[in-house]
């Protein structure tokens, strides 16, 4: 793993990132970021799909 550059800023609090938690400055900021992913705050663009359905499944029961 690369050593953190002192010019790198934590994306959460804008503090100086550390090597241990890169790109974050602390475990707290890394946990905040992870929570945002779990809540769906970050979205990766793409086509919308139906969850839990396979394209090959028939809709008949």
Residue 31: per-residue pLDDT: 98
| 37-42-47-52 Cα dihedral, nearest 10 degrees | 20
Set out the domains of the chain in order of their start, with CATH numbers: 1-41 (3.30.50.10)
Residue 52 — pLDDT band, cuts 50, 70, 90?
low
Is 27 within 8 Å of 21 (Cβ atoms)? yes
Residue 41 — pLDDT band, cuts 50, 70, 90?
very high
Residue 45: pLDDT over 90? no
- Can you give the length of the chain in residues? 61
Residue 35: per-residue pLDDT: 96
Residue 60: per-residue pLDDT: 53
Q: Global pTM?
A: 0.60
Three-state secondary structure call for residue 14: coil
């Amino acid at each position: 793993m690369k050593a953190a550059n002192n010019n790198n800023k934590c994306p959460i609090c804008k503090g100086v990132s550390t090597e241990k938690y890169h790109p974050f400055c602390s475990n707290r900021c890394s946990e905040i970021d992870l929570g945002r992913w779990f809540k769906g705050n970050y979205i990766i663009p793409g086509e919308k799909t139906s969850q839990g359905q396979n394209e090959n499944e028939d809709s008949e029961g």
